[in-house]
Structure 1
Amino acid sequence: MPDPIKGITLDDGTVRYRFVIDVGKDPQTGKRKQLTVTKDTKKEAEAEYTRIRHQRSQGTYVAPSKMAVEALVDAWLVEATKDVEAATKRSYEDAMRYVRTRLGKKPVQELTEDEVDALITWMLTKARRIGGKPGTGLSVRTCELTLGRLRAVLELGIRRQVLTRNVAQYVKIPRAARKEARKKKKERKPWHEDEVRTFLTHCANTPLHAVMLLSLVGLRPAEVVGLRWMDIDLEHGTVGVEITRTLVAGKVIEKDTKSVAGDRWLPLPLVVLQALKAFHTRQLRERLKAGDGYEASGRVVVDDPGKDWRTDKLRREAYKLMASASVRKTRLYDARHACLSWMANNGVPDTVVSAWAGHSDLSFTKRTYVHPDLQSLKAGSEKLMELLG
């Protein structure tokens, strides 16, 4: 077998040693790829030739590549979004947007752990462009999502033999940032019982009483705006939660509920049923008055001309009512938390609370949605009195 290592003489008379070796297929084009290696001494060339052949036989060899981080991100997105919902796909793309901005042009084989760590620092301090003051930091959750997706991107690079190791594997969100995020989350408290009553008393005199009640009996905002009159049995007092209408990049996406458990039928409290009946009657009058100009979508939550609401409009209208009712401004999701917490803290079995929320994981409901408040803790104090005398 001829010696694969050849001596070559450069223009200045220097002798170097070179070989050409097959290193598999290009991960981007699929074409056969050969590598030319040049060393100062024949001994170095022989050692490198032996190393490459051994790693090729073991399936561990990674050929030098000029592939940029953004190219590997593109490849991962194609693979990761084949069978996911539009909202999930958009979340993946959004998570990778920060990686593209900071590291996109970087050759992926030159990416270092320090650069990934610097990406997270930048995100936590000044990466924000929308949804707040530009130039400020993003949430810890956003950083965690981006870091998790980047790890998956680099794992793909390892599988496709572009990388030897995942430099994002051991990068972590700083403890101080996590601590601050926990503090902010703790500060965001759902309404207590008195606040709910104050808000609903105020809403009872408005056209949106029924709509706000739906938001306060445990339905998600996307479920409220997706609700159709055909989903409500006004005679027997039940509501079927089957459709959601969510916003993805400003576009409304209509789809089934989040999970099998999310698709559920609920018995309506009498006050909600009565409000819905009144709301339905009012809506029928508006439809008759508008005539052909009415958009008969069949939705429960619509404008006077019958036009469907989006979740952002539902939030804006709710915030207006909170302001006029002089109650603490809270997210509609936190209003949902208030409902589920009240049920759990007042003797409703955990399985019922979880089913009402549309969750398949009971522990998730208790961990995320159930918040013991001062009123419920007082009940615990009264129980302790029985023991302590």
Structure 2
Amino acid sequence: ADKVDRPKKNVFHGSFYSEEEMLTLFDAVSGDPLELCVKIAAYYGLRRSEVLGLRWSAIDMEHKTISISHKVIEAEVDGKFVPMGEDVLKTKSSFRTLPLIPAVGIILLEEKEKQEMYRRLFKKSYCRDYLDYICVDQCGKLLRPNYVTEHFSWLIEKYGLRKVRFHDLRHACASLLLSNGISMKQIQIWLGHSTFSTTADIYAHLDYSAQEASANAMNGMFNRPEKEEQLA
């Protein structure tokens, strides 16, 4: 075994949308059951499980904050896959409290009114097991993680958009922050990465400003002084 060359790990670079493509996507999901999930994932770069795990108790409208402290996964119970909430995130850094973006605050208030309307409309038929959860269907049931993935792919194909995964909304968020001058350290905190190196490994190749700085530094590195050129 010592004589065998270890295979090198391929670095994965996720695909992501530009700002213009994100606006097109927002238009496509308008009025769709996945609209809220897509927009929150795009604004905050949340993982799918974190988006589905958002609860109303995590939204502080008074202090304008949003806390990421819960997730929803899909587990097999009696042969059926069902969504299940738990207070265990990927890493300790995944637990974070972020400012509530005004645009997201408006979306959440609209969603709260919509859910209250559905409760009045469906009455006893409305599921009341998940009243604290934000991402539920019209009947009040939790959205399944696999449904989010599958329906998102369906939307992309339906509207002829460039093929990306739901998770790539996280990459789009990071790339747009980076292109707007947000530091890699701030992006690490925003995304909830455990270490700075994790963020740098994934997004360093997108940091064009750093490449420009390197190019400017190298530009005058090997130039001979004018006098030396004349002596030569």
The TM tier, using the shorter chain, reads 0.7 to 0.9
Letter in 2 for 1:211: C
Counterpart among 362, 368, 371 of residue 196 in structure 2: 362
1:289 aligns with 2:116: no
Q: Which residue of 1 aligns with 2:111?
A: 279
Q: Which residue of 2 aligns with 1:193?
A: 19
- 1:162-181 to 2 correspondences below 5 Å: 171-172=4-5, 174=7
Residue by residue over 1:77-110, the C-alpha shift from the partner in whole angstroms, topping out at 9 and shown as x without a partner, is xxxxxxxxxxxxxxxxxxxxxxxxxxxxxxxxxx
**Structure number with higher relative contact order (C-alpha < 8 Å, ≥ 6 residues apart):** 2
Letter in 1 for 2:50: E
Structure exhibiting the larger radius of gyration computed from Cα positions = 1
8 Å Cα contact 2:49-2:71 kept in structure 1: yes
TM-aligned CA distance change 1:284 to 1:251, over 3 Å: closer
Q: Which residue of 2 aligns with 1:321?
A: 155
Letter in 2 for 1:244: K
1:202 aligns with 2:33: no
Distance in 2 between residues matched to 1:283 and 1:371, nearest whole Å: 42
Q: Identity percentage over the alignment?
A: 28
TM-aligned CA distance change 1:252 to 1:204, over 3 Å: closer
TM-aligned CA distance change 1:294 to 1:171, over 3 Å: farther
Q: Which residue of 1 aligns with 2:164?
A: 330
| Cα offset, 1:306, TM superposition | 0.6
Letter in 1 for 2:25: F
Q: Partner of 2:39: helix, strand, or coil?
A: helix
TM-aligned CA distance change 1:346 to 1:172, over 3 Å: same
State the TM-score, normalized to the length of structure 1. Answer: 0.48
Q: Structure 1: state its 5+ residue gaps.
A: 1-112, 114-168
Q: Which residue of 2 aligns with 1:215?
A: 41
Q: Structure 2: state its 5+ residue gaps.
A: 221-232
Distance in 1 between residues matched to 2:107 and 2:33, nearest whole Å: 10
Distance in 2 between residues matched to 1:344 and 1:222, nearest whole Å: 24
| Cα offset, 1:299, TM superposition | 0.9
TM-aligned CA distance change 1:234 to 1:368, over 3 Å: same
Residue by residue over 1:189-241, the C-alpha shift from the partner in whole angstroms, topping out at 9 and shown as x without a partner, is 22222211210132234454322111112111000111111111234432111
TM-aligned CA distance change 1:325 to 1:272, over 3 Å: farther
